[in-house]
Amino acid sequence: MKNYFSSQFKLGILGGGQLGKMMLYDTRKYDIQTYVLDPSAEAPSRIACNYFEQGSLMDYDTVVAFGRKVDVLTFEIESVNVDALEALEKEGITVYPSSKTLRNIQDKGIQKQFYIDQDIPTASFKRYPSASALLEDAPTFPFVWKSCTGGYDGKGVSVVRTAQDLEKLPEVPCIAEAMIPFKNELAVIVARNPSGAVTTYPVVEMEFHPEANQVEYVICPARIDDHVAQKARAVAEKVSKAFEHVGLLAVEMFQTEDDDILVNEVAPRPHNSGHYSIEGSYTNQFEQHIRAILDLPLGKTASKVASVMVNLVGEENHQGQVLYKNIENIMQMDGVTAHIYGKKETRPYRKMGHVTIVDQDISVARATAEDVKKMIKVISE
């Protein structure tokens, strides 16, 4: 085994947001040297890495030059230059997840077609070069509109109920997806290393904010029957195998009224649906991602305790220097841990942090999560 620890080995991370910052906690635990590239001088990861570089993740030359400085390269965001990753692989730099995996995921139109080709259950859809081309096709309302690229944190996804709704959307390549009547939105995180070891985390249940189309609560374990949970984990493993991914793959799914499992979309990196694992699991998702990409033994994915994660997002009508109102009050509550991402400026619905609530009883944790959500407010000074 290569000596990664307290050595000259360098791990590169494309993207310096909160996911990178939380990944860096575990590189510190293992004393692994880290290099981070991010377009923002104020990136949250800046305080926690050995070397920080400001630059565009979509610029070919920037990504190639950065990648040549490290031994293994990974990413915490999908919006990176895939041609640059492919060039680095040809030069012998290890990139996980691979450029091939990311090519099949980065564009939602390609990703959806991949599910069809691989016989993975998913909602029916159609791809369009623009919103106006979609409108010309006389679609049946309502449906879900998704931008093929660039969507995140509720952006790039809209429920379209009328032609007027469609006219407000940007003229970008997109997909129109059938609305699925579902009982639950679920997620499973799969970890895989280059040697082929695979493990899955317990199924989580996601509750969404009705306006922002963002996850408000992640509940682990999901409050579903065992046979549905087993089916969800099996589908997630099938998706992982099809993508041949290395690292983490977060698989978001719908549980239909008939208890079928349909894949919604995936993320080849640590994910919001796995944040609970920092307090709740034997091996948190960030450590697991590092283990996987370095081909180390994968850690135990079972939960130590029931967990609920609450996203902290900017309040409406607030923009500017951030203030976490009542944070000291939630810190007095049993089983509550706050994570602040380090973004100095808040704006409506921007992810600024999260709170994990743990308890032996999932219903107690969920009730406490509601209290936390009501109490803490992310506002501007």
The neighbour count for residue 25, using CB atoms within 10 Å, is 14
Distance CA 354, CA 274 (A): 11
Residue positions in the annotated binding site? 108, 146, 177-180, 185, 264-265
| Rounded (10°) angle between helices 60-67 and 82-90 | 40
Q: From CA 262, how far away is CA 260, in angstroms rounded?
A: 7
Known binding residues for ATP are 108, 146, 177-180, 185, 264-265
Distances (CA, A) of 125 to 98, 146, 337: 26, 10, 40
What is the DSSP pairing of strand 72-75 with strand 94-95? Answer: parallel
Gap between the Cα atoms of 379 and 321, Å rounded: 8
CA–CA separation, 72 vs 182, rounded Å? 40
Q: How far apart are CA 268 and CA 381, in angstroms?
A: 36
Continuous H helices in the chain:
18-30, 60-67, 82-90, 99-106, 108-117, 131-136, 163-167, 226-243, 277-280, 285-293, 327-330, 362-375
Task: Write the CA distances from 351 to 45, 153, 312, integer angstroms.
Answer: 15, 8, 6
Number of CB atoms found within 10 A of residue 300's CB: 11
